Amino acid sequence: MTVGLSTLAARLRAAPPILPAPDPFGTGAPYGTDTEEILTGCAKNLAYSDVRRLAHTIDAGTAIAVEYVAASGNRTVRTLSELVLDPPYLHAWCHLRDDERAFTLSRIHGVMPG
């Protein structure tokens, strides 16, 4: 079954801004994928809908834009591709710097379609 982009976008927008309650029946974790669960533990500044979007991007191998806060406190928006999850880091090709970079997941404050 294929899902259209508008349907997927509607699902992402409808996602709760916080983590869902644990599964009351004990049948499994409330996460859609292992990537979501890993990101939730490391990307503490992201809303759950952003965690879902970033996890999908990593799993699908597509590009994404992130709002990143450097150790200096400077905020930048980076377009990233070729994402590799290596908790607590995200290795990616940074289009702003035209180079491979490592991003600390806890410093990512927002995600947008790339």
Give the Cα separation of 22 and 14 in Å (integer): 18
Q: Which residues contact 104 (CB under 8 A, 6 or more apart)?
A: 88, 89
Give the Cα separation of 18 and 51 in Å (integer): 10
Average pLDDT (74-83) is: 97
pLDDT digits (tens, 9 = 90+) for 14-35: 766 655 555 433 445 567 888 9
Give the Cα separation of 77 and 59 in Å (integer): 21
Q: Among the listed ranges 8-12, 22-26, 37-41, 77-81, which one has the minimum average pLDDT value? A: 22-26
Q: What's the pLDDT at 28?
A: 56
Q: What's the pLDDT at 10?
A: 77
- Sorted by where each starts, the structural domains of the chain and their CATH numbers stand as 44-114 (2.30.30.100)
Give the Cα separation of 82 and 26 in Å (integer): 35
Answering whether pTM is above 0.75, one says: no
